[in-house]
Amino acid sequence: MMKITQLSQLDLTANYSYADYLTWQFADAVELIKGKIQLMSPAPNVKHQRLSWQLSGTLFNYFSHKSCSAFSAPFDVRLYDRKKSLLANKDITTVVQPDICVICDSSKLDEQGCNGAPDWIIEILSKGNSKKEVNTKHALYAESGVKEYWLVYPYEEVIQQFVLQGDETAYQLINSYADDDRAISFVFPDLVIDLATLFKDS
């Protein structure tokens, strides 16, 4: 098998699996969305990284003595329809790298990352994020069963909170936080994030 060391060696119109993804040895950051290669945005800017650091620190402290674990990108999350049981690498066609995710089921964690839906995903939008990207991931996260999904808008200083309830297959927007609001996790209701503090230095 030919060693893949350059993105240019791949056919961007072809379908690939997570098994293929594991063999690639190039520096470009990519995700797989239903088999298609998606180039990730260039390195996040300072505003994005400050917010990621703040949120990661808050979640690290909160989960440090709990059974759930929080991770920040780069961290591979393999997704598939929640109605399906555990899939082999060759059958997984979606691999994403959320900015932050929380996993409470330790059986989903392995040496490569997370195999299955995290309980909570936080994405911090960059100026390079397109509406298509946002909508695609919104649908993917709901389909795979991510219970809570936050979209953080750094420039508007807003957080949108989406939740899957019961057997729903689409997210409900349950809150939009701004100004000096305190954002409260749905899945972890005693975890509170003060927006004035979060966006203070961003």
pLDDT in tens, 81-93: 887 777 888 999 9
Q: According to the CATH classification, is domain 46-198 in 3.40.50.1110?
A: no
0.75 cut: is pTM over it?
yes
Residue corresponding to tokens 């961003």: 202
Three-state secondary-structure class, residue 176? strand
Cis peptide before 118 (omega within 30 of 0): no
Token reading at 187: 């899945």
Burial class (CB in 10 A: 0-12, 13-18, 19+), 23: exposed
157 Cβ neighbours under 8 A, 6+ residues apart: 178, 179, 195, 199, 202
Token reading at 16: 């690939």
Tens-digit pLDDT profile for residues 62-116:
999 899 999 999 999 999 988 777 788 899 999 999 999 999 999 999 999 999 9
pLDDT score for 1 = 61
Percent of the chain with pLDDT over 70: 98
Considering the chain, tell me which residue range(s) the CATH 3.90.1570.10 domain(s) occupy.
46-198
Give the Cα separation of 190 and 42 in Å (integer).
35
pLDDT score for 44 = 78
pLDDT score for 41 = 75
Give the Cα separation of 64 and 48 in Å (integer).
24
